[in-house]
């Protein structure tokens, strides 16, 4: 009889019955997991688009492909960081930039790991995924492949960029907006 009780399958747990908030530790694990998945997806999308531009489209040899009146694919070897700053023409400069951006990526990863807010974790995941994509380019190619050329006539609001650059920009803007909103929120509470 004891054997029958042991052999009986356990009843499935109905998680829908649990209506309270998730414990803090479980929320933190879920926030981290989602952020790491987002970072990986940004990295994968960045590398996939660069591969398509470099190999099937052969953009390096075609130089420019017009997609729309306001958007072209344009091949650019970016030897610097954002906005062409800190250009690294030699091997030493290249590896110093790799080290610097890897240090920044490690800082962002540690911040992401400690971050408890889901919106900040998402923003940090965008930054981390974009930074990793650009580090891989600089390590593998010696430069970062940029190709997205947004323009309105002759006016270009941005330099030629890639998915990683866009993700980094979006992530930083989200962090800045949130920091400004939090600062304003604290100031209003103090006035009341």
Is 165 among the catalytic positions?
Answer: yes
Catalytic one of 46, 120, 146, 149: 146
Looking at residue 65, the DSSP 8-state letter turns out to be: E
Cα–Cα distance between 24 and 22 in angstroms, integer? 6
Task: Clarify whether 146 is annotated catalytic.
Answer: yes
What's the order of all strands across the beta sheet hosting 71-78? Answer: 64-68, 71-78, 144-150
Q: 141 to each of 98, 158, 173, how far by Cα in Å?
A: 12, 23, 28
Write the CB contacts of 106 (distance below 8 Å, at least 6 apart in sequence): none
- Catalytic residue list: 146, 165
């Amino acid at each position: 009889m004891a054997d029958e009780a042991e052999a009986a399958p356990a009843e499935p747990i109905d998680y829908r019955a649990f209506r309270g908030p998730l414990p803090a530790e479980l929320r933190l694990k879920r926030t981290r997991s989602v952020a790491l998945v987002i970072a990986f997806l940004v990295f994968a999308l960045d590398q996939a688009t660069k591969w398509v531009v470099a190999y099937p489209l052969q953009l390096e040899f075609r130089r420019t492909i017009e997609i729309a009146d306001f958007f072209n694919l344009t091949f650019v070897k970016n030897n610097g960081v954002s906005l062409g700053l800190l250009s690294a023409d030699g091997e030493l400069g290249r590896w110093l930039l790799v080290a610097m951006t890897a240090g920044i990526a490690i800082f962002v990863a540690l911040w992401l790991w400690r971050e408890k807010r889901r919106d900040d974790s998402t923003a940090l995941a965008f930054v981390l995924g974009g930074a990793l994509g650009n580090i891989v380019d600089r390590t593998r190619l010696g430069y970062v492949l940029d190709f997205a050329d947004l323009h309105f006539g002759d006016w270009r609001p941005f330099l030629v960029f890639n998915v990683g650059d866009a993700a980094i920009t979006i992530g930083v803007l989200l962090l800045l907006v949130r920091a400004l909103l939090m600062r304003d929120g604290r100031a209003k509470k103090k006035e009341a």
